[in-house]
Amino acid sequence: MSHTRQQLSETDYDVLVIGGGLIGASFACAMSTQGLRIGVLEAVSPGSASQPSFDDRSIALSLGSKRIFEAINIWPSLEDYATSINKIHVSDRGRFGVTRLDSLEQGVEALGYVVMSRDMGRALGERMSTLDNVDLISPSSVIGVDMPEKTAGDRVGITINHQGIKQKLSARLLIAADGRDSFVRQSLGIKTTDWDYQQTAVIANITSQYPHHHVAYERFTDSGPIAVLPISAGRCAIVWTCANNEVEAIMALDDDAFISAFQQKFGQRLGRFLKVGVRQAYPLRLVHAREQVRPRLALIGNAAHSLHPIAGQGFNLGLRDVATLAEIISTAQAQKRDIGDLAVLNDYAKWRKRDHLRVVAFTDGLVRTFSNNFLPLAIARNAGLIASDLIPPVKRLLSRQAMGLTGKLPRLARGLGL
């Protein structure tokens, strides 16, 4: 259901989700079978072109994420918009080491799928609008949070600005899914580990001379990594990471000059690039929250961890948060435990800790290793790429990481119901 009228009739929920972006909306859909009353607060109106989570970026979904979307019945409305990734080609510009990952070698249908975040937003929004137990309250911004010590103890309270009117809502559990600069996290003084990469990702869609054959390319260059992802026939989505001091000039290039500069970075594997679409720029920072839960509070998605997009892991990591938290809440419900109890939420935090640390370290390590021109390091990483191409167990580990199938997987990621 969508609440757009000014005065809200319902003010007390089982769960309030702050942020109805990719992750908050996925969480509401995942929880739809649990008989809980869920309110989703989203600052930007549904369908608005300025929705920051549902924009033109293309997301590489891991195979594990596809399984989660299948288990929560989102995949049927996405699959017509998804392009499979059958191979991943990783290289270091100016050196000959490469690693090639292949779905056939790994015995899977695909290593992942590329979907535009706008299409995911549409599919999730349509699904939410059919759920009787989910209220999408939008446009509404959270402007204050009162944790249990200030409320009756069994509730968390929030103040929202709903279409210019201040209102109070309460819930047994608050989920912060309000993105990298999370208002909830900041207003509760939750500290983060931060790193400004001094890099910006420029994204665009590009038409190439040769077909992509469902290959995704990851290429490390001295000014930052670039990714080329297969989308529709003959077209690819590019993520060109450049130093912050280069971005203004790159964004100002006319299309021909942009294509020729990008061609120089990427090389000729797809022949000549012929046409480029609208560009957008995203400044890149690592933000990792030092606390993932408090009594009656859990953080998920970018509010919990925001990564460099180099390895296409941010959304996939967030969707595993969704699947794990949904399972923990469902189990707590079945055992008649309080879903906002810290002991329940600690189970979520403990389960997610290893995956968070591994993916943050892997992504951050890639950026640092490949942004460094120190010759011995360049030789070592070149040797590393060759080794990972030649040694089957290393290759298998890398493939499973790319597919989002490492570590202890929640039920939804194994294709099971909650």
Ligand X SMILES: Cc1cc2nc3c(=O)[nH]c(=O)nc-3n(C[C@H](O)[C@H](O)[C@H](O)COP(=O)(O)OP(=O)(O)OC[C@H]3O[C@@H](n4cnc5c(N)ncnc54)[C@H](O)[C@@H]3O)c2cc1C
Residues that bind ligand X (CB under 6 A): 18-24, 41-44, 52-53, 57, 59-60, 141-142, 177-180, 183, 201, 203, 239, 282, 301-302, 309, 312-316, 318
Residue 370 exposed, middle or buried by CB count within 10 Å (0-12, 13-18, 19+): buried
Shortest separation between residue 309's beta carbon and ligand X, angstroms: 4
Query: Rounded to 5 degrees, what angle do the CA atoms 371, 377, 379 make?
Result: 110
Answer yes or no: are the C-beta atoms of 64 and 317 closer than 8 Å: no
Q: Which is nearer to ligand X, 186 or 331 (CB)?
A: 186
The C-alpha atoms of residue 158 and residue 243 are separated, in whole angstroms, by 39
Q: Which is nearer to ligand X, 52 or 94 (CB)?
A: 52
The CA-atom distances, in angstroms, between 190 and each of 165, 273, 324 are: 28, 45, 22
**Considering just the CA atoms, what is the radius of gyration of the chain in Å?**
22
CB of 398 to ligand X, least distance (A): 16
- Please name the residues in contact with 150: beta carbons below 8 A apart, sequence gap of 6 or more: 157
Q: Which is nearer to ligand X, 143 or 383 (CB)?
A: 143
Kind of pairing between the strands at 12-18 and 38-41: parallel
Closer to ligand X by Cβ: residue 240 or 351 = 240
Closest CA to 124 of 295, 354, 387, 318: 318
Max CA pair span of the chain: 65
CB of 143 to ligand X, least distance (A): 7
Nearer to ligand X, 314 or 410 (CB): 314
Is 160 or 345 the residue whose CB approaches ligand X more closely?
A: 160
